[in-house]
Amino acid sequence: MNQARTPSSSRRAAIRRLATATAAATFPLLATRAQAHTDKPHTARTGPVVKEQKDWGIAGDAKRAKRSIAVGMADNMRFTPARIEVRQGETVKFVVRNDGKQMHEFVIGTKAENAKHAEMMVKFPNMEHDEPYMAHVPPGKTGEIIWTFNRAGEFEFACLIAGHYQGGMVGTILVAPGGKP
């Protein structure tokens, strides 16, 4: 009887480590801190939030958030509301509720950044990352983002889970210059 040979578990683990290291070297987004796009729950972020200036703003301090904005996500691939207006310099607390039965996320960015990230998510649906402008929210749960909009312009919030962005799960954030919405 001719039996197919299967690699030992230690060989499979070594192959997985090599594939992960190769992918991380090839695609730097894969090397970021862990928060997978799967249906598994995620642990809370530990340690201080890394504050890195982005085109759409910077991570905010909860004490400076004067306004809280509730955003609903649903399996019809829509956000409620679909348009949010803030003032330049405003720190906002987003409370994002997943009313659906599948995993969703709320990612703030530019249209170009979100489109590029969404394309990567189609190729690598289990890509891991955890950034202060992202909330990955399991069904029936709530996530939060504290964000300071220190640059005026029109930005996006989107669910970048494979197929969701392509299905229209996108909203607009209008940041009015000079403190007037």
Instruction: Report the CATH number that the domain containing residue 85 is assigned in CATH.
Output: 2.60.40.420
Residue 24 lies in a domain: no
Residue 138 lies in a domain: yes
Residue 63 lies in a domain: yes
Residue 5 lies in a domain: no
Per-residue pLDDT tens over the stretch 6-53: 445 555 554 444 444 444 433 333 333 333 444 443 344 455 667 899
Q: Which two tokens stand for residue 179?
A: 């403190």
Residue 152 lies in a domain: yes
Q: What is the pLDDT of residue 51?
A: 87
Residue 108 lies in a domain: yes
DSSP state of 136: E
Residue 18 lies in a domain: no
Q: Which domain holds residue 104?
A: 55-179
Check pLDDT > 60 for residue 149. Answer: yes
Residue 30 lies in a domain: no
Per-residue pLDDT tens over the stretch 102-128: 999 999 999 999 999 999 888 887 777
CA distance 15 to 17: 5
Spatial CA neighbour of 58 closest among 96, 105, 91:
91
Asked if 118 contacts 142 with a C-beta cutoff of 8 angstroms, the reply is no
Structure pTM?
0.72
What total of structural domains would you count in the chain?
A: 1
